[in-house]
Amino acid sequence: MTIFDQDMLDELNLLVKFPTDSLLQGLKIHHDASQSMVNAASRLYAKGLITQPDGGYLTDLGIDLADHSRHLQSALCNRKSSH
């Protein structure tokens, strides 16, 4: 069974940081960003999810995955424990 490793978590965290208000808004990973975020952006670019290795815009697939990531984040954060 595959679990979310740290690289995947970094990628998910970066995906949910992209603006949701407009597809004309992107994200720029600055030189002072953590190395994990720089690496996550590079991997997302290599996977075809963002348009630039340092951010840019979400591709169509990136938009879909960012939406799924936000749903997952919302479901996990907002659930009350029944214990």
What pLDDT digit, counting tens, does each position of 21-74 carry? 877 889 999 989 999 999 999 999 999 999 999 999 999 999 999 999 999 999
The pLDDT of 8-29, averaged and rounded, is 91
The model's pTM is 0.86
16: number of Cβ within 10 Å? 15
12: number of Cβ within 10 Å? 20
Q: What are residue 52's DSSP bridge partners?
A: 55
Contacts of 44 (CB under 8 A, 6+ apart): 11, 14, 15, 50, 62
The pLDDT of 6-23, averaged and rounded, is 92
The amino acid at 22? S
Question: Whole-angstrom Cα distance, residue 51 to residue 59?
Answer: 6
Q: Which of 30, 22, 83 is nearest to 52 (CA)?
A: 30
